[in-house]
Structures are given as structure tokens and as C-alpha cells.
Chains A and B, each alone.
Chain A
């Protein structure tokens, strides 16, 4: 299981990559492993939409479960990964790379402080393994 150290994480199992005032979001290796084969992905938010932290942005469905992807912090959606809709299996294959889901402009950088770092997130995942 990979937990890249250059990323930040949420307790909803999203990863966040911050570059300047733009954040890129996807779901973690742990999340794709838990969901198993992902067969559907749809970004439900629209570009230009202003969303609060924890607002629903996308939806994935695997052969086992459906899950929502939430805003890690508040911001404005600037780009979504349209290719993922047709190739949802990329989420399993390359969760931290090709399977990025959306980018947004960070509204309030202070909120980033609440996100987990790789070590804390890995510990959080281990706690859930029983």
C-alpha cells in the first residue's frame, strides 16, 4: 500500500496535492483497494462551482460499494478529469497518477492545516484494519 509523502490526506480517503493555490484530488490506494474493481465514476460538480469543505464532488461505484468523493477543503472547481468517466479502472491501476479526479482553487488555505500527512493517514488506515 502506498502513502506518498508529498500528498495530504482526508479521513474520507481522498489525497490532496497542493501547488500554489490549486489543489488536485483523487482517492487513495487504500480506498481503491477497499472498494475493489471500480466500474463507474462520475464528477457531479460543475466547473466554476463554489463548494464548501465536505461537499460532494464525484461518485464512484465498484462491484462492491458506492462512494462519494468530497471537497477536502472549500474552493472553486477549476478542472475535472473527463477521461476517468470512460476508464474508471484507472482508479484501481493508478490512484495517485492518471486517476486524479478534479482540481480546485483553494478558498481558504488555513483549512489545509486540518488535513493529515502521510504518516498520520497511514496510521489512520491501519487503525481501521481489523
Chain B
């Protein structure tokens, strides 16, 4: 049966209702001459020719498989075991996202259930949803949860200045028009100790990043306690890979843990698709957006999976919904689940340790150079800030001539960190590549 939503009669009735005669009348506002512009496209070519052309174009890209990449800042180049792609591309999984008759797709539900369980293990939290689009939307949803937890009576949100700048932008976009005060990130000088002072009865949520955008690792126990005293929810944005090594945020009082799952087996892919991790305490499960898969037994006592919490925003809560997010990143969530299950607890720790040690090796070598120094002396994970003798963009241009992808120019987002480079070192970088970076940095210290 063909799916034809509107008959000709339906269309006529709808047009009549708004006082139009023809469908074209809807486009009256668009000038005739720009409705069908001449696109000036070349003549059609054969598949063989177009394949060659696309290959030539793609070869003009600089790929992280071919050059060492010291650029991180929220998206990281890690090794991706080939098994992940093999599983993702099985046609049972490689289809549209969660089916609308979910229980008929037990495999999909089981995959989501495994993902949720792994995320809970990693973050130490009690419940995980089936995922969000990316880390930024997950943080925005944490803000929404906190506002609803306080029933709209609290209007202040504290964001640490060292949460990823894009995440903070997304929170502002998401909540615009809601009359919120989003504070705390006006200056890099605002520390988590000052946050404890800024918390008040108006604060719905306080959020920090761990490790922070500048790579630093901080212990947030006292902030967690301060948040709890004012009944503000405490949200921690994590790099899930770092949790292979670090204490989970549940141990310092996190109410919500969010993050981007990209480091767990998802390629950089020019910025996406990635997957947003969202985990929280059991007591907030009904305020959590998205869906949640549960395990149960069927009428014959066999294990089965169900959508315990469906995307209720769509078909139950409707106008009473507190979030508009209904979907998830099923395939990307599966990638992280496969990554974590083949790495195992020990493997994940080893990857994290490799990143940590290689980054520390690189940082010490760079710090020993005459014209470069580490900006920060405390603990850090696999990313660190280097004060440079010249503008970062110029240094990066020269690194590129040596086929090295340099770090992130922090002056773009933190005016006080002009001429500071954020360098990420992951397990795929070898010692020789680090030594090359150090040598070239020394060489390009002056014009």
C-alpha cells in the first residue's frame, strides 16, 4: 500500500482554509526569478569518472591517519579497532535508529541496554539514557533536568569557564528566552572554590568539566558538598576515556554526568556524528529526557528487553513535555559499547595510561625548550597548555609544512590565553612523532 498522506481533495481543502488556490501561491514571497536559479552545473559524467574526481578531492585532505595529530579540544584521534565497523555495518544494526515498534527489535534494545550499563559502570551513576546527539546537547539537557527538578523556581546556572566553549554556547542557545542567568564563565580566573561561594538558593545547577577543557584534573568533592547544601544539582562533563584512569564523578557527589562518547571508538569525521552520554541518579530518572531500555523476562521466563521509558515527550507528555529531545544516537552508542566491551576495564585503563604518559613525556620535553613553557603545573590527563613565543596560528602553519597537525589556538576562545596552544597526545602518537614535534617547535620559535 502506498503511503500517500494527503489526497488531492485534502490539499484543496487545506489551501481553501488559508485562502489560496494553488500550491504555488505559497511561494509568492519568493521572487519568480530566484525560484529556479540556473545552477550552472557541469554536464553529467559517468560513475567511473566521478569516482576518480571524488578520490582526487579526498586526497587533497590532510588525514589524521597520515600525519601526527596534536589537535584535541573535545574531539580526539584514537585507535579504532576494526571490529567496531564490522559490527556497526551488520545490517541488523545499520538501519534507522530505534524502531517505532521497539520490542520487535530485541537486538537493538539489547545493544542500547549494554551501552547504558557500560556508561553507568564508567561514570558510577545509577541510570543512563539511551544517549543524546553529542556532549553539548547532553549538558543542555542536564540544565533542563535541573530546572525541572526545581520546578522552574530557580533561575541560575553556574557553568565553569573551562567547560568546552561550544558546550557553553549550546546551553545558551538551548535555554534562550527562558529567563535564566547563566554565570560563572565570564573569566578564566573563576575557580571551583569560588563557585562554592557563588552557589545560592537561586542556583538550579552547577557544572564543571573533568578533565577540563585545558586538560587539567581537579578534585571536586568540596564543590559537590557545597552544591548539595544549597540543593543545586551538580553536573560533571567528562571525557569517558579519562574515566578509565580517574575516579568516577559519583565519588565526589555528581548528580548528573554527561560527556561526548567520541573518544570511545568513534572517528573524528569532521565533527560528527558523535554521541552524548547522559547518566544520573535513580531519583531523577523521570526527569531525564530521551529513552531508557530495561531488562525483563517474558511470559515464558526468558530474558527480554523493553523500552521502560519511551520518548514520552512525543506521545505521552506532549504539551507537558519538559524536553524536545526524543531521539538518540543508536549506532554511535553501539560503537562505544563495542569499544568498551572489547577493551574491557583493563584495556580502557591501558589506553588512558598510554595517553597520560605520552602527553606527560611531550609536555616535559616542550617545557624544557627555551621559548616554550607549560602554563599549568598541576595534574593533567592527555592535554596541556603551552605558552608559545609566537601566535599559535603561525606556529601551526609551520608545523603543517613538516606534516604535523599542531594544537588548538586557545586565544580564539580565551582572550587571556592568546599565544597559548592546547596540545593533545593520544595513544596513536609515537615517541618519534613527539620528538619531531618538539624539534620543529624549537626551530620555529622565531620568525
State how many residues of chain B have any CB contact under 8 Å with chain A. 7
With contacts defined as CB atoms under 8 Å apart, how many contacts are there between chain A and chain B in the complex?
19
B312 touching A66, Cβ below 8 Å: yes
**How long is the Cα–Cα vector from A66 to B148 in the complex, in angstroms?**
15
Chain B residue with the shortest CB-CB distance to A61: B316
Top 6 closest pairs, chain A to chain B, by CB? A66-B317, A66-B320, A66-B316, A65-B316, A44-B151, A40-B286
**How long is the Cα–Cα vector from A126 to B197 in the complex, in angstroms?**
58
Q: Which residues of A contact B312 (CB under 8 A)?
A: 61, 66
- Please provide the chain B residues from 243 to 295 with a CB less than 8 Å away from any CB of chain A in the complex: 286
Known: A65-B316, A66-B312. 17 other contacts (CB 8 A): A40-B286, A42-B286, A44-B151, A59-B320, A61-B286, A61-B312, A61-B316, A61-B317, A62-B316, A63-B316, A64-B316, A65-B318, A66-B316, A66-B317, A66-B318, A66-B320, A68-B320
15 contacts between A and B (CB under 8 A): A42-B286, A44-B151, A59-B320, A61-B286, A61-B312, A61-B316, A61-B317, A62-B316, A63-B316, A64-B316, A65-B316, A65-B318, A66-B312, A66-B320, A68-B320
Q: Which residues of B contact A61 (CB under 8 A)?
A: 286, 312, 316-317
**How long is the Cα–Cα vector from A61 to B286 in the complex, in angstroms?**
10
State how many residues of chain A have any CB contact under 8 Å with chain B. 11
CB distance from A114 to the nearest CB of B (A): 25
Chain B residue with the shortest CB-CB distance to A42: B286
**How long is the Cα–Cα vector from A61 to B312 in the complex, in angstroms?**
10
**How long is the Cα–Cα vector from A62 to B320 in the complex, in angstroms?**
13
Q: Which of A40, A42, A62, A66 has the largest number of chain B CB atoms within 10 A?
A: A66
CB distance from A15 to the nearest CB of B (A): 22
Chain B residue with the shortest CB-CB distance to A62: B316
Q: Which residues of B contact A66 (CB under 8 A)?
A: 312, 316-318, 320
Chain B residue with the shortest CB-CB distance to A45: B151
